[in-house]
Amino acid sequence: MKFIVSSSLLLKQLQAISGVLSTNNTLPILDNFLFELGDSEIKISASDLETTMTSRINVDMAEGEGSVAIPAKILLDTLKTFSDVPVTLDIDSDNFGVTLTAGEGKYKLAGQNGEEYPQVPAIENSASFTMESDILFEAISKTIFAASNDDLRPVMAGVFCELSSENTTFVATDAHKLVRYRRMDVKSEESANFILPKKPLTQLKNILSQDDAPVEIEYSETNAKFTFKNIIMTCRLIDGKYPNYTAVIPAKNPNKMTVDRQPFMNAIRRVSIFSNQSTYQVKFKIAGTELNLMAEDLDYSNEARERLNCHYEGDDMEIGFNSKFMVEMLQNLETEQVMLEMSEPNRAGLIIPVDSENKDEDILMLVMPVMLNA
Amino acid sequence: MDAFYASVEQRDHPEYREKPLAVGGGSGRGVVAAASYEARKFGVRSAMPGALARKKCPELIFVKPRFEVYKALSRKIRDIFFEYTDLVEPLSLDEAFLDVTHPKKGKNSATLIAREIRKRIDEELQLKASAGISYNKFLAKIASDIKKPNGQYVIKPEQAAGFIESLPIEKFFGVGKVTAEKFKKLGIHSGKELKEASREKLRKHFGKHGMFFFSIARGEDLRKVDPQRIRKSVGAENTFSSDLLNATELDQALEDICSELYRRLVKAGILGKTITLKIKYHDFIQVTRSRTLLLPMQTEKEILQLSRELLHQHREPEKPIRLLGVTFSMLEKKGILPGKQLRLDLTF
């Protein structure tokens, strides 16, 4: 079999799916891209067994049918060096030797029988819903940072998706912080929920376009499948029960501070440089219309204080937060102002965007404090 | 201290004097915590199962341990140490390192100070102690075993090499049963052979500890006598009166162990990030499994949950279990922990 394709088009598609390739594969054939040649179209896939991504591209000329696995690294490294030229891939159907011809160059590498490449599991008893590419992108970006890196609780190393006829909710938490991202404009006929692992979500985030192109999401008990443009991504879901996150969102928070987000975030960033570099603790002292930020690192005699204006309703308050968490959360919001709702110095603080222009979006972020000195 | 627990019992009970005596190990499945010198002649050793000890020495007297008494005595002994130096690093209830380079009182000689301390322990507490004197911790510890019981010994710098070379590998600091086996597989049985091993070889097989072995084989041990040597771990364990197999019973047993462990953690005011579960099966085969969290565990519930997960993930369900233990390490002092990141109380 043989086909001719533009080097830049092929490279672009390979790069889009190459994020799935793992560096420590148990199956050596997974270090390859799978090429499946049809009439005037080829399907290329990359997989780590948990997640498989497939892209379809049109080729200029195709002869024969069949499939071959081609070593990913060599192919990517070679294609990267070309400016846009037509490349011919000629595959020997007996021994799966691959000959790549481009301009005056001829390169040979050993492929493997594509039949040996693991099959993508079929999704059985599935249901599906559709959302726009940019909305999915937002939902992933705004939640994934809060998911856990601890392998102790596998369910928390993913993003929980809750579908209903009214809205769709995405939740991530590592027990220190939590994000609930809800879309009123994404609805499903059936109520369902599942946990998507971080890795495929990160891949999606990297390649989803920032437009309203539809993404079809099919899900079953065990797998999910994302179809958009010329790409299909299938991934295994995280097995297990997601913790009851609604129970930890405090309902009564009498102390409410409203502050300009950007100056607030910049101040925390600056003060944080002077904080203890293991706790990143920044003290918030709120009274009247003033927010005082304070950080210190006793070991190095570093200390920083900064004062900001805010609007505050509630009792005077002193509460500590991990500045890294705070900045991560504020960074993922867009409104000019944010509200920080609190009850006690040892209870969760809530961060809520104020006057969001996007009425279809409902964001709630929650962060547990750091204990201050008694 | 020489046969510390046993000596205390013989001191307080004249009828036990000059008789083979074991502290602990009297009940069905316990082990001997300490053996008197008379019992040691029969081959009774500490950590030996009681039944075996009885076999070795049928007239062995078993007494129940009185840890409160030993602890109180240990404090009195330490008070004596502190009269001579502030640099006292306890190794256990009955053993400590003292740095007497600049003594607070007495003559400026380690040998004379050791003699004086031993004399005072004998006069004030009617107990016998032995001492080892040298220019570093490793050699002092070796020296303390040489003239036991009721004696002392000095290893002078010029004698060090000879001593170390003749030392069997098991006697080296940090070499237990497993490490000793590993050394023997590498053909290293004595200090002499250890000294001949290259730095690279030791590093390859023992990592960071390899470098330590390389140094002590040359009599170099720069570790300071550290009066505030922090505890590295806190644990609790239980040998069951009969082997357990049933999951509910094991869970209950684990709950008791965890609650005791939690009590100890709270008392010591510390938190740990690493939890280790020890399972000893009926056939004495022992496995340990551990897990390290990013932040210290804080609640009893959390400790119990993790121990249970470790147990059920790793135990061989058909094998009856004789002992369970849970240990915490990577400790953090609670007091210096404002700055503790709080967690959401998520239920699964």
Gap between the Cα atoms of A31 and A110, Å rounded: 13
Whole-number pLDDT of residue B228? 66
Range(s) within chain B of domains with CATH label 3.40.1170.60: 4-65
Cβ pair A152:B291 closer than 8 A: yes
Pick from B59, B51, A113, B28: nearest CA to B36: B59
Enter the ipTM. Answer: 0.79
| Interface membership of B336 toward A (CB under 8 Å) | no
Cβ pair B346:A248 closer than 8 A: yes
The nearest CA of chain B is from the CA of A39 a distance in Å of 51
Residue A29: DSSP 8-state? G
In DSSP notation, B87-153 reads -EEEEETTEEEE--SS-SSS-S-HHHHHHHHHHHHHHHH-----EEE-SSHHHHHHHHHHT-SS-EE
| Interface membership of B344 toward A (CB under 8 Å) | yes
Q: Considering only CB atoms, which chain B residues are within 8 Å of A241?
A: 348
Is a pLDDT exceeding 50 seen at residue A374? no
Q: Give the CATH H-level superfamily of domain B233-347.
A: DNA polymerase, Y-family, little finger domain (3.30.1490.100)
| Interface membership of A247 toward B (CB under 8 Å) | yes
Q: Considering only CB atoms, which chain B residues are within 8 Å of A180?
A: none
Site from A343, A346, A371 to mutate, B interface, most B CB atoms within 10 angstroms? A371
CB nearest B347 (choices: A176, A244, A368)? A244
Cβ pair A245:B348 closer than 8 A: no
The model's pLDDT over A114-158, given as tens digits with 9 standing for 90+, comes to 999 998 888 888 899 999 999 999 999 999 999 998 777 889 999
More confident residue, A60 or B110: B110
Tokens 């999401």 map to which residue?
A217
Are the C-beta atoms of residues A320 and A285 closer than 8 Å to each other?
no
Are the C-beta atoms of residues B167 and B180 closer than 8 Å to each other?
no
Whole-number pLDDT of residue B107? 80
Sheet-wide strand order for A317-322: A302-309, A290-297, A281-287, A317-322
Q: Which of B83, B89, B95, B318 is catalytic?
A: B95
CB nearest B338 (choices: A150, A155, A371)? A371
Site from B305, B344, B348 to mutate, A interface, most A CB atoms within 10 angstroms? B344
Gap between the Cα atoms of A321 and A342, Å rounded: 12
Gap between the Cα atoms of B21 and B6, Å rounded: 7
CB nearest A176 (choices: B293, B306, B343)? B343
Are the C-beta atoms of residues A342 and A284 closer than 8 Å to each other?
no
For A235, residues 6+ apart whose C-beta sits below 8 A from its C-beta are A50, A51, A52, A196, A197, A199, A200, A223, A224, A225
Cβ pair A150:B293 closer than 8 A: yes
Cβ pair A248:B342 closer than 8 A: no
B220 is catalytic: no
The nearest CA of chain A is from the CA of B141 a distance in Å of 35
Q: Which residue of B has its CA nearest to A373?
A: B338
**Tens digit of each residue's pLDDT, chain B (348 residues):** 888 999 999 999 999 999 999 998 777 677 888 999 999 999 998 888 888 888 899 999 999 888 888 988 998 998 899 889 888 888 888 899 999 988 888 788 899 999 999 999 999 999 999 999 999 998 998 899 888 888 999 998 888 888 888 888 888 887 888 888 889 998 899 989 998 988 888 888 888 788 888 888 888 888 888 776 656 788 899 988 889 999 899 999 999 999 888 888 877 777 778 899 999 999 988 899 988 876 677 678 888 888 999 998 888 989 999 999 999 887 665 544 566 788 888 877
Cβ pair B345:A248 closer than 8 A: yes
Whole-number pLDDT of residue B295? 67
Q: B4-65 maps to which CATH number?
A: 3.40.1170.60
The model's pLDDT over A256-307, given as tens digits with 9 standing for 90+, comes to 999 999 999 999 999 999 998 888 999 999 999 999 999 998 778 889 999 9
Are the C-beta atoms of residues A173 and A152 closer than 8 Å to each other?
no
Tokens 């959401």 map to which residue?
B344
Hey, which residues does A363 pair with through a beta bridge? Answer: A181
Cβ pair A175:B293 closer than 8 A: no
Which domains does chain A possess?
2-116 (3.10.150.10), 127-246 (3.10.150.10), 249-367 (3.10.150.10)
For A19, residues 6+ apart whose C-beta sits below 8 A from its C-beta are A46, A53, A202, A203, A206, A207
Cβ pair B339:A320 closer than 8 A: yes
Whole-number pLDDT of residue A373? 62
| Interface membership of A373 toward B (CB under 8 Å) | yes
The helix/strand/coil state of A173 is strand
Q: Which residue of B has its CA nearest to A282?
A: B339
Hey, which residues does A227 pair with through a beta bridge? Answer: A216, A232
Whole-number pLDDT of residue B231? 66
**How many residue pairs from chains A and B have C-beta atoms closer than 8 A?**
60
Q: Which residue of B has its CA nearest to A297?
A: B339
Q: Considering only CB atoms, which chain B residues are within 8 Å of A155?
A: 348
Q: Which residue of B has its CA nearest to A374?
A: B338
| Interface membership of A298 toward B (CB under 8 Å) | no
Gap between the Cα atoms of B323 and B22, Å rounded: 22
Q: Considering only CB atoms, which chain B residues are within 8 Å of A247?
A: 346-347
| Interface membership of A231 toward B (CB under 8 Å) | no
Q: What is the mean pLDDT of residues A48-63?
A: 91
